Amino acid sequence: MKKLNKNQVYGFIAIAVLSLGVVGCKATSSVEKTEDKTVPEMFAGATKDTLNSGVISWKTYFKDAYLQSLIETALKNNQELNITMQEIEISKSEIKARNGEYLPFVGVGAGASVDKVARFTNIGAMEATTEIKPGKEMPEPLKDFKLGVYANWEIDIWKKLRNGKKAAVNRYLSSVEGKNFMVTNLVAEIANSYYELLALDNQLEIINQNIEIQSNALEIVKIQKDAARVTELAVKKFEAEVFKTKSLQFEVLQKIVETENRINFLVGRYPQHVDRSTGTFNDMVPNVVSAGIPSQLLSNRPDIRQAEFELAASKLDVKSAKARFYPSLGISAGIGYRAFDPGYLFKPESLLYSIAGDLMAPLINRNAIKASYNTANAKQIQAVYKYEQTILNSYIEVANQVSKISNLEKSYSLRTKQVEALTNSVSISNELFRSARADYMEVLLTQRDALESKFDLVDTKMQQLNAMVNIYRALGGGWN
């Protein structure tokens, strides 16, 4: 057989590398979708102003000291938030794992063994006639001692491993933004529950006042019944109304307990009394909110930034998956000492070393790689849609709250006038009843309407405060 010269060997290697490269480059074509970040210039119903309430700290935005204390406790103790913090630690560990993949892996090894081979075998026969040095035969049984350093390294030619690390970094940043979005929602949920609790306290106070009014009216009806001016039917109707209002009192008390416990759960503690403001609820004035411009949502809202990092990670995943079609180059090396006697272990003759390179590319049955690539490509397109959906949802949320704040302000003004009119009508109906110019049903209906109108006024005020909270959340406030 004709012996190949050095140039021919190099030529065959070059052809092999080229062939592997051609095979690897036959990757499935990608269908990349570019995200659309365009948003309207301003929110409907709002002025075009860059002043944005979403960048204000929650400690500045919420001025109630009791509410501030609840939020601060929740940020320390809320279990769901603490679970999310551990997700961040998991993502951080993933970065370290990916970072180690494209760096050389170096290890140290040591070992000892003993081996006795059969005499009538090729190895046994060779060892029996082999001398270590003149006059000194190979020991039997044969011991083996070794100590060395070894290394393995995949050369990241196509940035497959580095892109994997970058994807892990983006997912870590995404998990941080996910935590920020959770904080935003947690702050808003506590604030909404707190204002609901104040509204229920106010409703309970209204009920107690109404019970007193109805009880006084019942005494008047009893006196008029004794004077034969009304019948027993009127007395029973007034009594029934008092009982109805008292039963409503216990319904509100139950709602107060449930709302307090919802807050206790959010702050991570067992049921207990929730300290809160005792001022007049209807005198509370919502903050004046500036919505800013829609493009600010891209930097203010944690969920948008979270979707953006997920999108960046998915694009890198596509690149990593595509790189699996290309040849991979691996290098392995080792150096150390090996001898059958510890006394010879560190002699120059006991030194051994090795170095090898491997170039491999998928050739047949690449279905698994194609499937992985197609999956990564589909997830990238999916991430684009999710990103665009998050932007659209955030814009709509802000637009809804801007409109709601305006409409609730007008509604509250009209309901205030309604309460004033019905409160006056209660006094008028009582006077007319005493002078026999109105029947007891008119008095009852007037009292019922007045109670409902006061409840509605409190509910509208609560909606105003909730809208103040919700637009703050929608603008991306609360996490900073």
Tokens at residue 416, please? Answer: 């205030």
7 within some domain:
no
pLDDT tier, 191 (very low <50, low <70, confident <90, very high otherwise): very high
What is residue 434's predicted lDDT score, i.e. its pLDDT? 80
Task: List the one residue out of 58, 57, 463, 473 whose CA is nearest residue 291.
Answer: 473
What is residue 26's predicted lDDT score, i.e. its pLDDT? 53
- Examine the domain organization and report whether 97 and 143 are in the same domain: no
- Examine the domain organization and report whether 63 and 163 are in the same domain: yes
71 within 8 A of 58, measured Cβ to Cβ: yes
**Residue 444 corresponds to which amino acid?**
L
1 within some domain:
no
96 within some domain:
yes
Tokens at residue 476, please? Answer: 């991306």
- CA within 13 Å, CB half, 139: 9
What is residue 30's predicted lDDT score, i.e. its pLDDT? 59
432 within some domain:
yes
11 within some domain:
no
Cα–Cα distance, 413 to 457 (Å, whole number): 9
Cβ atoms within 10 A of the Cβ of 201, count? 18
- Examine the domain organization and report whether 282 and 137 are in the same domain: no
User: When comparing pLDDT for 403 and 98, which is higher?
Assistant: 403
Task: List the one residue out of 110, 188, 177, 207 whose CA is nearest residue 401.
Answer: 188
Per-residue pLDDT, averaged over 344-361, amounts to: 83
Residue range(s) defining the domain that contains residue 458: 30-102+157-326+378-474
- Rg for the chain (alpha carbons), in Å? 40
Cα–Cα distance, 342 to 47 (Å, whole number): 86
181 within some domain:
yes
Label residues 83-120 b or e (16+ Cβ within 10 Å = b): ebeeebeebeebbeebeeebeeeeeeeeeeeeeebeee
- Examine the domain organization and report whether 141 and 237 are in the same domain: no
Per-residue pLDDT, averaged over 280-285, amounts to: 90
Summarised one tens digit per residue, pLDDT across range 356-377 is 888 777 766 678 888 888 999 9
73 within some domain:
yes
Q: What is the DSSP secondary structure assignment for residue 301, as one 8-state letter?
A: -
Per-residue pLDDT, averaged over 35-62, amounts to: 88
- Examine the domain organization and report whether 144 and 222 are in the same domain: no
What is residue 331's predicted lDDT score, i.e. its pLDDT? 86
- Examine the domain organization and report whether 213 and 149 are in the same domain: no
pLDDT tier, 1 (very low <50, low <70, confident <90, very high otherwise): very low
Cα–Cα distance, 221 to 242 (Å, whole number): 13
Task: List the one residue out of 190, 206, 194, 242 whose CA is nearest residue 457.
Answer: 206
Task: List the one residue out of 476, 468, 469 whose CA is nearest residue 405.
Answer: 468
pLDDT tier, 125 (very low <50, low <70, confident <90, very high otherwise): confident
Per-residue pLDDT, averaged over 189-193, amounts to: 97
221 within 8 A of 238, measured Cβ to Cβ: yes
Minimum mean pLDDT among 20-29, 228-237, 290-299, 364-373: which range?
Answer: 20-29
- Examine the domain organization and report whether 52 and 198 are in the same domain: yes
Distance of CA 181 to the CA centre of its chain: 6
Write the CATH number for 180.
1.20.1600.10
- Examine the domain organization and report whether 279 and 349 are in the same domain: no
What is residue 10's predicted lDDT score, i.e. its pLDDT? 47
Cis peptide before 302 (omega within 30 of 0): no
- Examine the domain organization and report whether 301 and 424 are in the same domain: yes
Q: Is the pLDDT of residue 16 over 70?
A: no
What is residue 12's predicted lDDT score, i.e. its pLDDT? 47
Mean of per-residue pLDDT scores for the chain: 87
- Examine the domain organization and report whether 305 and 411 are in the same domain: yes
Q: Is the pLDDT of residue 306 over 60?
A: yes
19 within some domain:
no
Write phi, then psi, for 435 (nearest 5 degrees): -95, 15
Task: List the one residue out of 409, 416, 465, 412 whose CA is nearest residue 287.
Answer: 465
Q: Hey, CA dihedral for 419, 421, 424, 429, is it positive or negative?
A: negative
Cα–Cα distance, 427 to 154 (Å, whole number): 90
User: When comparing pLDDT for 27 and 215, which is higher?
Assistant: 215
Distance of CA 46 to the CA centre of its chain: 29
- Examine the domain organization and report whether 275 and 148 are in the same domain: no
User: When comparing pLDDT for 180 and 350, which is higher?
Assistant: 180
Domain count, the chain: 2
Give kind and range of the element (H or E) at residue 74. Answer: helix 65-77
Write the CATH number for 120.
2.20.200.10
pLDDT tier, 206 (very low <50, low <70, confident <90, very high otherwise): very high
Summarised one tens digit per residue, pLDDT across range 134-168 is 767 777 787 888 988 988 888 777 888 888 888 88
pLDDT tier, 79 (very low <50, low <70, confident <90, very high otherwise): very high
Summarised one tens digit per residue, pLDDT across range 392-424 is 999 999 999 999 999 999 999 999 999 999 999
What is residue 56's predicted lDDT score, i.e. its pLDDT? 95
Cα–Cα distance, 262 to 191 (Å, whole number): 12
Minimum mean pLDDT among 99-103, 215-219, 233-237: which range?
Answer: 99-103
- Examine the domain organization and report whether 321 and 332 are in the same domain: no
